[in-house]
Each structure stands twice: as structure tokens, then as C-alpha cells.
Amino acid sequence: MAESNFVDYVKIFCSSGHGGPGSAHFLRTRGVPHGGPDGGDGGRGGHIILKGNKQLWTLIHLKYTRHLRAKDGENGAKQLMHGANGADVTIEVPLGTVARDAETGKYECEITEDGQSVILVPGGKGGLGNDHFKSSTFQAPKFAQPGEEGIESWKILELKLLADVGLVGFPNAGKSTLLSVISAAKPQIADYPFTTLVPNLGIVPLEGKKSFVMADIPGIIEGAHEGKGIGLRFLRHIERNSILLFMIPVDSQDIRKEYEILLNELRQFNPELLDKARVLAVTKTDLADAELTRELKKELPDVPSVFISSHKKLGLNKLKSMLWNELNQINTDYI
């Protein structure tokens, strides 16, 4: 997933179609010169519809298509003919896309399944023809109902990546390196902060044709929930993960303290994130000897943990097994 191609936030203007007016026609034929009302109903205005597409990973196709307008419904006609409905506009989006009202920020819907369709902005209803208004005491209504107007509004679409395991850590914790080693993903890797500027996804294979999806997001810094660094923009991607894999380098001054800082950033952003399963990976353990490793194990927080080295490929099988077992406990679909 190239950096320039990843877009996870767009603001779009949606205009649904107006409903067509009903007809106020009266039956007029050679044999019936003064017939009753036979005006048909107007057609519905076109909807703006969101539809899930599992083949999409980004909202980039909407980046330069900011204005979406559905067609108006057609007028009702004589002989009770119903006007055609206005053509809908269907927006295909990746799974995990959330729609909000741009003015109020109110949540409106979330697309989580392939093929799932949700009407984001409904079209106006078509007006009733004069045939609907006739009665035994009012046999010749000369009016029909106008169609409802469509709706115009700005919407925000946000993408939350659907992944089984989300990597959480400070910049340079080794998240991108781990993803590149245990999956086919090729994230940008360098020895400076914020190498990862966009989320990366990788499929982690296991024996027996089993696999799970891992997501690497830009590093979090203390104060990210207040907008510091670049982690705030991407914290929402963690909301869709089943497991949070905390990654802290072995040469950290205080592993437990770093873990608590990361945990606090998630708590401040969304307290519900703390309800997710957690695993701790102490990275870059090729830099530590056996004695230091034994001492560090005594000081780790009370979560399932493993010491790994992506560079030397140490502890990676144990990590994958640990994550797989955690996923099995959360969701029996993995068994």
C-alpha cells in the first residue's frame, strides 16, 4: 500500500434527487370525453448509497470526486403511469468505513461487510397523482402532490482498517520491521522517527494454511491524544483490531513506564480500547545478553509477553503462536 495511495479521510458533498411530482391528469378518450382522474405518481429521487467492497483498502478514489449528485425522479403521467425513479449514486468503500455528518459529527453508519449497502442520503419521495385524492364526494380533484425535495449535506467518511492484530508502540520500536519479516508487506523502514506515515497491512501466515491480518500504524508519542505527533490521526485504526500488540525495545530505559504511557494514550483517546486483548513484545533482544533478559522479565507488566528480534528472527514463531491463541479465545472462527 503506497503512501501516496493511502487515503483514510474524505469530506464529500452529497445531493440526493428530488422526487418527481404526481400528475393531475384526467382520462380523456374518444369514448370517455369526461373521465375521472388518472394521474400517476412521481418517481422517487435517487439515493446516495454506501456499499462495501472488500477489494478496496483506501478512500483515494473519492479524494478528487467531492461532489456526488443523484438524479431526480420523473413526473407521473396519465393512465396511472408511475414516473421512473431517479438513478442512485452508489459509492463503493473499503470495509471499516464510518460515515458521519460533517456539521454535527454525528455517527451515521459503518460498513463492515462485503456487499453491504446503506442509504447515506435518501432521495425525495415522489408526489401522489390526483387519482389518490378522489372520493365519493370529491370525484374530480384537479391537483396532485409535488415531489419531496432531495437532501444536500456534507458527509465525512473515515476508514478504520479491519485487522486482527494492531501494532502499538513509539516510533522506532520495530513495528515496521516485524511486519516486513513475518508477512509479505513491504513498509518503509529507516532509523529515524515517523518512518511510517500511513498504516500498513500484512497477512501473517501460519502452518496449516492459517493466517491473520496485522496492521502497523504510525508511532504514538506521549500526548498523541491531544494531537501531538502524527499518531492521533491513526489511533482510530486500532479501534477495529481484535488484539493490540504493544512493542517496546529492549534498550528502553523503563519498559513498564513506556507500556503505561502507551496505555494511557489509548485510554485518553477511547477508554474502550483497554477492553481489547493485549500482548507485549520486547523487541531488538539481539542487543541484550541472557542475564539482562532474565532481569527484564521480572519487571514486565502483567500481560502475555515475549522477547523477539526481527533482525535475528528470534522468538517470532512463539509470538505468532501467542497471537493465534489469543485470537482463538476471542473468536472461534479462527479455530
Split at pLDDT 50, 70, 90, the class of 195 is very low
Contact 171, 262 (CB under 8 A): no
The pTM for the full model equals 0.70
Percent of the chain scoring above 70 in pLDDT: 88
C-alpha cell at 259: 507500556
Encode pLDDT of 55-104 as tens digits: 888 898 898 888 999 999 999 999 999 999 999 999 999 998 999 999 99
d(CA 169, CA 174): 8
Grid coordinates representing 44 are: 422517487
- Write down all domains in the chain, each with its CATH number in brackets: 1-159 (2.70.210.12), 165-334 (3.40.50.300)
Q: Distances in Å between the alpha carbon of 20 and those of 24, 41, 142, 150? A: 13, 8, 17, 10
- From residue 2, give the alpha-carbon distance in Å to each of 7, 36, 51, 53, 322: 10, 66, 24, 19, 30
pLDDT reading at 281 higher than 50: yes
pLDDT at 170 over 50: yes
Q: What is the chain's length?
A: 335
The single residue listed with the C-alpha cell 494531537 is 227
Cβ–Cβ under 8 Å, residues 314 and 308 = yes
Instruction: Quickly state the pLDDT bin for 196 (edges 50, 70, 90).
Output: very low
Give residue 222's pLDDT.
Answer: 59
Residue 216 pLDDT grade (very low, low, confident, very high; cuts 50, 70, 90): confident
Cell digits of residue 286? 539481539
